[in-house]
Amino acid sequence: MRLAKYLAHSGVASRRKAEVIIGAGRVRVDGHLVTDPATGVEVGQDIRVDGHMVVPEGHEVWVVNKPIDVISTADEPGKRMAVVDLVDSAARLYPVGRLDADSSGIILLSNDGELANVLTHPRYGVKKTYRVGLRHNVSDAELNSLAKGVRLDDGMTAPADVQRNGERTFDITIREGRNRQIRRMGEAIGNEVMELQRISIGHLRLGRLGVGKSRLLDEQEVARLWKDAEHE
């Protein structure tokens, strides 16, 4: 197995982040400094990151209903709570993607770097649905524009599924993951997003999970997430 993949499977970080860690000279294999992420390793070798031995752990995937003002990081050095603090697990969990501090809703935490990669990499286009509340009423024409795609400073957005809920509210499903994309789409139609809640990732819906609560996904739910990356 390649070293970067080994670190990802061991819950150290996603494969991409593991490659950065290795390239930075922070990893030793059997006492030797290794900087090539493609280096082959086997279970049983002495593999250390920053001097700490890497021990493979069982994969866990948790779903969390993130409250507003909680940070989507594994460690928050400031005064605000980190999303990992909402999960009672001894595993080294990392957020799968991001959800802005001023947004709420579903976010996944896992120590499975491979799953995290397929759920967040643009190539796989896993769909995510958001419930949006705007400052001003939105017209059918404006919602149609959002569905067809609007121009942002980093290019046109891809087509989206949009369903109206009220005069100022709607649900939107996208397969992209640009920075603060939904809020910028609101600005593109001359409005402002006041409330933003992610209600689903792939097939997995927020459901009745309370704000600030979390639960461990079972094997069938995790298997379905892998299928979501195949655009089933």
* Residue 141 shares a structural domain with residue 178: yes
CATH number of the domain that 154 lies in? 3.30.70.1560
Model confidence at 232: pLDDT above 50: no
- 3-state DSSP call for residue 55? coil
* Residue 134 shares a structural domain with residue 181: yes
* Residue 31 shares a structural domain with residue 66: no
CATH number of the domain that 13 lies in? 3.10.290.10
Separation of alpha carbons 107 and 113, rounded Å: 15
* Residue 109 shares a structural domain with residue 145: no
What is the residue range of 45's domain?
3-53
Separation of alpha carbons 134 and 170, rounded Å: 9
Nearest to 193 by CA among 205, 203, 201, 183: 183
Instruction: Show which residues are catalytic.
Output: 100
- 3-state DSSP call for residue 146? helix
- 3-state DSSP call for residue 84? helix
Task: Collect all residues with Cβ–Cβ distance below 8 Å to 113 and sequence separation of at least 6.
Answer: 5, 7, 8, 9, 11, 12, 13, 14, 15, 17, 18
Model confidence at 141: pLDDT above 60: yes
Separation of alpha carbons 176 and 218, rounded Å: 26
Model confidence at 75: pLDDT above 80: no
Tens of pLDDT, residues 145-204 = 999 999 999 999 999 999 999 999 999 999 998 999 999 999 999 999 999 999 999 999
* Residue 134 shares a structural domain with residue 192: yes
Report residue 100's pLDDT band, with 50, 70 and 90 as the boundaries: very high
**Dihedral (C-alpha) 166, 171, 81, 15: value to the nearest 10 degrees?**
-170
- Specify whether the CB–CB gap between 65 and 105 falls below 8 A: yes
Greatest C-alpha distance within the chain:
64
When divided into structural domains, the chain yields a total of: 3
Give the H/E segment covering residue 152: strand 151-152
Tens of pLDDT, residues 14-65 = 778 899 999 999 999 999 999 999 999 987 899 999 999 987 778 899 999 9
Task: Collect all residues with Cβ–Cβ distance below 8 Å to 110 and sequence separation of at least 6.
Answer: 59, 60, 61, 62, 93, 94, 96, 116
